[in-house]
Amino acid sequence: MNELLYADGTDAGLRLDVWLSDQFESLSRSYLQKLLKEGRVLTEGEALKASYRLRGNEVFSVDVPEPVPLEVPAEDIPLDILYEDGDLIFVNKPRGMVVHPAAGHATGTLVNALLFHCRGELSGINGVSRPGIVHRIDRDTSGVLVACKTDAAHRSAAEQFAAHSITRRYYAICHGVFDTPAGTVDAPLGRSKTDRKKMAVVPDGKRAVTHYRVVDQTEKYALVCLELETGRTHQIRVHMTQLGHPLLGDTVYGNRPNPFHIQAQMLHAAVLGLSHPADGRRITCTAALPEDFTEALNKTGLRVPDGPL
């Protein structure tokens, strides 16, 4: 589908990706940036970059691909639903469940379950394999995740994630004793220079900020509450390792002795909050600690937190 858009003199000076997001209410800014990278936005036959500044009185041709028929099967997989309405659905994802289909995980994912439960009524902005998905948490991380049922809701949620206005609170069991009860890690993250499958603190990476607070600790382990200001891939796992406190069970970034034979990193997305795309009211959902996390706390001698997460 080819769209012709006109920018008048009052638009001069605006970044192209910002201006485009105002023209396409149903498309997220990240999706429009993807179209720009693919050379699908042109003026006078020239493909433009996201950072292009409008001169005003220009005509742009935007090639928006037609939606591809959805081929991901809907599967009747039980969901722990924390909140649901016509725009959003918050679920408590169990540890071990992949969020969306990918190589080696064509079925059994959260997307397969959502397609069945929502009867296909999910946003299509992120393509056929990730309908409704605005953000992800690792397969071996449990906890709250939000999905969107409409493109308008998806766009609103994506903008809130980009603006870092989402509330995201995690619990983690870490190795070692913290010298200070609370602090902040502000260290840029990017692909590791030595292992492209891993993330690392790199000078030219994207800014990543994690606030942490020690809830309880013993001579060897600590229960830590973490608040994300940004949401980079593997942010908590890398930042805690950078501090010298890798997560218990994390074989990718930690590689510390694991006397309890725990098979996955002890990380739980406990709280997720955002402003509702329809009326702006704050929706905050909490997922109780899963049984395996509580068992790990007992094994390490850490107390199970009482009261609100």
**Active site residues per annotation:** 138
Residue 261, C-beta contacts closer than 8 angstroms, at least 6 positions apart? none
CA angle 170, 288, 120 (to 5 degrees): 90
Distance CA 287, CA 294 (A): 13
Strand order in the sheet with 41-43: 2-7, 58-63, 41-43, 46-47
25: number of CA atoms within 13 Å, CB side? 4
> Taking phi first (over 0 means left), then psi (-120 to 50 degrees means alpha), and beta for anything else, what does residue 215 get?
alpha
Residue 49, C-beta contacts closer than 8 angstroms, at least 6 positions apart? 16, 36
SS3 34: helix
- The pairs formed by 31-39 with CB atoms below 8 angstroms and a separation of 24 or more are 31/125, 31/126, 35/62, 35/63, 35/64
Distance CA 28, CA 152 (A): 9
Distance CA 299, CA 8 (A): 65
In the structure encoding, which two tokens stand for residue 139, read together?
A: 């397969």
